[in-house]
Amino acid sequence: MKSVIVGTAGHIDHGKTSLVKALTGIDADRLEEEKRRGITIDIGFAHLELPVPNGEELRLGFVDVPGHERFVRNMLAGVGGIDLVLLMIAADEGIKPQTREHFDICRLLSVRRGITVLTKSDAVDADTLEVVRLEVEDFLRGSFLDSAQSPIVAVSSLTGAGLEELKSELARVASEVTAKNSTALARLPIDRVFTMKGFGTVVTGTLVSGTISKEEELEVFPTGRRVRVRGVQVHGSAAERALAGQRTALNLAGVSTEDLARGMMMAPPDTFQFTSRVDALLTLLPSAKPLKDRARVHFHAYTMETIAEAHLYGAKQLKPGDEQYVQLRLAEPTLVLPGDRFILRQFSPVVTIGGGTVLDAAPIPKDKPEAISHLLNVSSAGDVEKILAARIARRWYRGISWRQLVSETGWRRESIESHLEPAVAKGEILKFGELFLNSAAMSAMSLLLPAALSEFHKQNPLVHGMGKETLRDKFKLSSAVYEAVLTSLVQGNKLEIAGELVHLPGRGVAMKDEEAESKEIIEQAFASSGLKVPSLREVIAGLKVDKIRAQKIVTLLLRDKVLIKISEELVFHQSALADLRQKMAALKNTTPKIDVARFKDMTGVSRKYAIPLLEYLDRERVTKRVGDERVIL
């Protein structure tokens, strides 16, 4: 059965709640204060099933909103997920301030279908009713409620006049509404939180996309809390699952009412990220005052509300009736996705001034203006392939993962894969495991890595090459992309890899005369001293080169294994250690064990050298310590 959400709109006391009750038999005013004062304060809900011309049943969920100007914020919490609107205008009063504001809100939220209802038709004569009809037609001309395409129905909730005609028009208009996407990822904006005896915590909302089933795990945004769905109700009846476009109640396990609130969003875990910055296309109402750059405003999206600061792109102020790209910096994080509609209200006095469409809920800080402009342009145009290409391109050589693309767009992985397939086949987009990269970024990396190595060789002539991980970290590349770039460059003879070092072809250590002389002095000092080596500090102190270059020369000798460091204090020439190993091997034939005293006698070194040397032999598996002795292996 197709489900359609119908929202009411209109000035206070224009009969919205009475008409909903007349149509459905359900009083949407659930609060004691509402019944006592006779006005709607918060959003209320009702439902109705109607037959449509093709013989099928249509389920209508009504969201009844307050009409008083003091409760417009509650009204906004109810209309975010509606499919069509009943704009109600009392025949005995005509168009009033909240008629205009509610109508503006519906247009800003891009509601496409609706019916204009002239309520309290029994309170006026036929001539007056006709005058009001003409006034309303003029007010709505050129809008989605233009009488040329949208019906105007006069009714009386008191006498029942016009109700059957209204039901017939509701069935017809609702049948034309495009069903919300049940195959998308689920999102349920919470509009009510309460405890039900025998069940526990319950939340309600209009499921704007996807499907939610019993026993499913969900994540609450922006808190990140995980909950389990114990039970599902759709339009007041128990169900195994709720589909997009249905009024939904969830009985939740693992959470209390204190942990939840109107404005939060429920969605599958590990899919989306909440945001505090939103790039959007903003339309300012003709009746609004000019909006200055960085002005504070009230931001409304679905059931949430927060304060935001409006940063205009490329303008100091936005004129009434104009459109402009804007970044909204939110005081509280929320979950919104590209394509979501929002409303802005003036900070003070609080009146509706505009609204628009979210284009990017994951803006990159300090991104280049041209990159921002390009993404916003293609996002507003709605071309899926171009949107994905722009999101991949703006990540440049760091790429973007499947999970990030799902989080940024709200599209399922299968859909993304399908839309990217042509570009991947053409080589315009490159795929590395779970990562996507723009081909231009790959080409850029083929230039940037050799350039970085060239600069490194220039700054470090005494170092053979740059560490592989150091080079990767310089560009913050993923392992998969880095290895692909390195492989391509090695195959193209643009760089070489020696162990853990990367260097340009033909580039080794370039030493000046005094550096080459110092290298020879250091090597000779250790080679000639056997195992009775001098202090490295003393050797460096006697060189012509400065301390920094001397240390680089030592590092070079250690890397080439000419010198071997066996402890923090002792460095030996490799030939001296090779001789020691030979002596130990020869000793094994006559004496399989040796202690520290015998080792000192054999080598002629003091205990200062003997202990580190024996520990070195243990590490090299030449000897093995057993008690106070070493077994020669």
Task: Tell me the CATH number at 550.
Answer: 1.10.10.10
Same domain, 99 and 196: no
CB-count burial class (<10 Å; 0-12, 13-18, 19+) for 158: middle
- List C-alpha distances in Å: 579 to 17, 520, 619: 100, 21, 17
Q: How much is the average pLDDT of 363-368?
A: 85
Q: Which backbone phi and psi does 563 adopt, to 5 degrees?
A: -110, 150
CB atoms closer than 10 angstroms to residue 342:
25
Q: State the Cα torsion 415-419-420-423 to the nearest 10°.
A: 170
In a domain, 431, yes or no: no
Same domain, 211 and 343: no
Dist. CA 151–CA 149, nearest whole Å: 7
Q: Which two tokens stand for residue 36?
A: 């006592």
Say which CATH number the domain at 194 has.
Answer: 2.40.30.10
Question: Tell me, what's the pLDDT at 187?
Answer: 95
Asked which of 209, 234, 267 is the last residue of a domain, the reply is: 267
For residue 501, list its beta bridge partners. 467, 498
Residue (of 169, 76, 73) closest to 118 by Cα position: 169
Q: 209-213, 260-264, 276-280, 397-401: which range is least confident on average?
A: 397-401
In a domain, 51, yes or no: yes
Provide, rounded to the nearest whole percent, the portion of the chain with pLDDT above 70. Answer: 95
- List C-alpha distances in Å: 66 to 37, 76, 204, 386, 537: 13, 9, 18, 41, 84
Question: Tell me, what's the pLDDT at 324?
Answer: 95
Of 608 and 36, more confident: 608
Dist. CA 624–CA 607, nearest whole Å: 18
Residue (of 383, 379, 333) closest to 357 by Cα position: 379
Residue (of 109, 113, 98, 23) closest to 67 by Cα position: 98
Residue 90 has pLDDT above 90, yes or no: yes
For residue 397, list its beta bridge partners. none
Long-range contacts of 27-30, Cβ-Cβ distance < 8 Å, separation of 24 or more: 28/62, 28/64, 29/64
Structural domain harbouring 331: 275-360
- Tell me if the pTM is above 0.75: yes
- List C-alpha distances in Å: 200 to 95, 206, 253: 44, 20, 8
Question: Tell me, what's the pLDDT at 460?
Answer: 75
Dist. CA 379–CA 343, nearest whole Å: 19
- b/e map 393-412, b = 16+ CB within 10 Å: bbbbbebbebebbbbbbbbb
Task: Kindly state the helix (H) or strand (E) to which residue 202 belongs, with its residue range.
Answer: strand 200-206
In a domain, 513, yes or no: no
Q: Which two tokens stand for residue 144?
A: 């989605």
Same domain, 151 and 193: no
In a domain, 498, yes or no: no
For residue 15, list its beta bridge partners. none
Same domain, 134 and 208: no
For 158-208, the pLDDT digits (tens) are: 999 999 999 999 999 998 888 888 888 999 999 889 988 878 899 999 999
CB atoms closer than 10 angstroms to residue 472:
19
Q: Which two tokens stand for residue 282?
A: 């903003």
Same domain, 263 and 281: no
Averaged confidence pLDDT in the chain: 88
Same domain, 95 and 25: yes
For 561-613, the pLDDT digits (tens) are: 888 888 888 888 988 899 898 888 888 878 888 898 888 888 888 888 889 99
For residue 249, list its beta bridge partners. 204, 233
In a domain, 367, yes or no: no
Same domain, 537 and 612: yes
Task: Kindly state the helix (H) or strand (E) to which residue 191 belongs, with its residue range.
Answer: none
Same domain, 78 and 42: yes
Query: DSSP letter string over 370-436?
Result: HHHHHHHHHHHHT-HHHHHHHHHHHTGGG-EEHHHHHHHH---HHHHHHHHHHHHHHTSEEEETTEE
Residue (of 169, 120, 185, 116) closest to 144 by Cα position: 116
Asked which of 175, 199, 234 is the last residue of a domain, the reply is: 175
Q: Which two tokens stand for residue 324?
A: 């402009």
In a domain, 495, yes or no: no
Of 566 and 43, more confident: 566
Residue (of 89, 64, 415) closest to 247 by Cα position: 64
Question: Tell me, what's the pLDDT at 326?
Answer: 96
Residue 42 has pLDDT above 70, yes or no: no
Contact 349, 99 (CB under 8 A): no
Determine the length of the chain.
Answer: 633
Residue 450 has pLDDT above 80, yes or no: yes
Question: Tell me, what's the pLDDT at 418?
Answer: 92
Q: Where are the beta strands (DSSP E) in 19-101?
A: 44-51, 57-64, 84-90
Say which CATH number the domain at 59 has.
Answer: 3.40.50.300
What lies within 8 Å, CB to CB, of 216 at 6+ separation is 228, 229, 268
Same domain, 263 and 279: no
In a domain, 162, yes or no: yes
Contact 250, 203 (CB under 8 A): yes
In a domain, 182, yes or no: no
Question: Tell me, what's the pLDDT at 91?
Answer: 94
Residue type, 205: G
Asked which of 131, 150, 175 is the last residue of a domain, the reply is: 175
Dist. CA 571–CA 574, nearest whole Å: 9
Residue (of 350, 355, 342) closest to 71 by Cα position: 350
Question: Tell me, what's the pLDDT at 84?
Answer: 92
Residue (of 40, 83, 111, 76) closest to 303 by Cα position: 76
Same domain, 192 and 246: yes
Q: Which backbone phi and psi does 59 adopt, to 5 degrees?
A: -100, 120
For 451-494, the pLDDT digits (tens) are: 999 888 887 776 778 888 889 988 888 888 888 889 889 898 88
Task: Please tell me the total count of domains within the chain.
Answer: 4
Residue listed under structure tokens 């090459």: 465
Q: Which two tokens stand for residue 241?
A: 């699952």
Same domain, 132 and 51: yes
Per-residue pLDDT band for 119 (boundaries 50, 70, 90) equals very high
Q: How much is the average pLDDT of 356-364?
A: 93
Same domain, 12 and 139: yes
